[in-house]
Amino acid sequence: MIKVAIAGARGKMGIEAVHTVMKREGMQLVAVLDYKKMGSTLAHLDVFPESYDVPIYTDFAQLVDDTQPDVLVDLTNPHSVYEHTKQALELNVRPVIGTTGFTDEQLAELTELAARKRIGAIIAPNFAIGAILMMKFAREAAKYLPDVEIIEMHHDKKLDAPSGTGLKTAQMIAEVRQAKIQGHPTEKETLAGARGADYDGMKIHSVRLPGLVAHQQVLFGGEGQLLTIRHDSLNRESFMSGISFCIETVITMESLVYGLENII
Ligand code: NAP
């Protein structure tokens, strides 16, 4: 039985993740981590049934002492995720991180820490299998069509831009294409930001609107042709099989993996 703790259990993703772990055979939700005292168990929160007798902690070290989780799933926000991940590794709890917004320096430090402690960790900017395929197909297409722009579209409560998936897609494309400045060499923005963010000469555009969940298009342009690779997460259930897969996989690993595409 894999013992799981979840940080961010009251959030949109967290609520779904709690139900997923509670229903999944071979997993036990032993605790949740919050930063506010919201009640002693999940049963005290309106969003969960009374049968969810899972303790809520505000102190992670105490949570680990009392409930000994194997895995911490983090679905919080870019401000707290780095500390949670680091603390989990230091306390020998394997992190499965869905929260986006790490800097390259933070990723490097956590990778080194996991390797030194020989503890598995997964940081997955996107848990949806379709989004992983979109990134893989985009990397393949960029070998032949190196002019590419990314449009990522999310709900307007999202805190970081570009999205972790948008950034990861650009990184994967950059592995196979020569850095290349796109558009006209002397183009000039008459309104700042009009051409989007720049990654190795590739442009990333972030759309934030109510009604959206998580969507991305990768547009390739060639002579007389266009290719668009598009993925849409229509609800948060699209991420749940990826979360279960990561929980089951991370306990077999001894290092940090960034991106689900590296393990499926
Ligand atoms: P959300 O609805 O805002 O949920 C975040 C929850 O975390 C809130 O309940 C928040 O509480 C809580 N929280 C904040 N700081 C915390 C802390 N230090 N300890 C414990 N809980 C804390 O956001 P969401 O839509 O569920 O998304 C959560 C994260 O997952 C975001 O970073 C998002 O980008 C990411 N995400 C990832 C994927 C993926 O496939 N990897 C998919 C979708 C979303 P308060 O509201 O009271 O502050």
- Nearest Cα residue to atom 39 of ligand 1: 126
Q: Does residue 59 surpass a pLDDT of 90?
A: yes
Superfamily holding 129-233: Dihydrodipicolinate Reductase; domain 2 (3.30.360.10)
Q: Which residues contact 138 (CB under 8 A, 6 or more apart)?
A: 148, 169, 172, 173, 218, 229
Tell me which residue has tokens 């895995």.
Answer: 71
Burial class (CB in 10 A: 0-12, 13-18, 19+), 73: buried
Q: Please identify, by atom number, the ligand 1 atom nearest to the C-alpha of residue 128.
A: 40
Q: Is 79 a catalytic residue?
A: no
Q: What is the average pLDDT across 65-77?
A: 98
Dist. CA 48–CA 54, nearest whole Å: 10
Dist. CA 227–CA 229, nearest whole Å: 7
Give the pTM: 0.88
Superfamily holding 2-123+237-262: NAD(P)-binding Rossmann-like Domain (3.40.50.720)
Q: Is 188 a catalytic residue?
A: no
pLDDT in tens, 190-207: 999 999 999 999 999 999
13, 100, 238, 241: residue to mutate for ligand 1 pocket, most atoms within 8 A of CB: 13
pLDDT in tens, 89-105: 999 999 999 998 899 99
Q: Please identify, by atom number, the ligand 1 atom nearest to the C-alpha of residue 155.
A: 25
Which amino acid is residue 56, in one-letter code? Answer: I
State how far the alpha carbon of 182 is from the alpha carbons of 10, 168, 188, 189, 196, in Å. Answer: 42, 19, 13, 14, 12
Q: Which residues contact 183 (CB under 8 A, 6 or more apart)?
A: 195, 203
| Domain coordinates in residue numbering, the chain | 2-123+237-262, 129-233
Q: What share of the chain is helix, strand, coil (3-state, %, to 5)?
A: 35, 25, 40
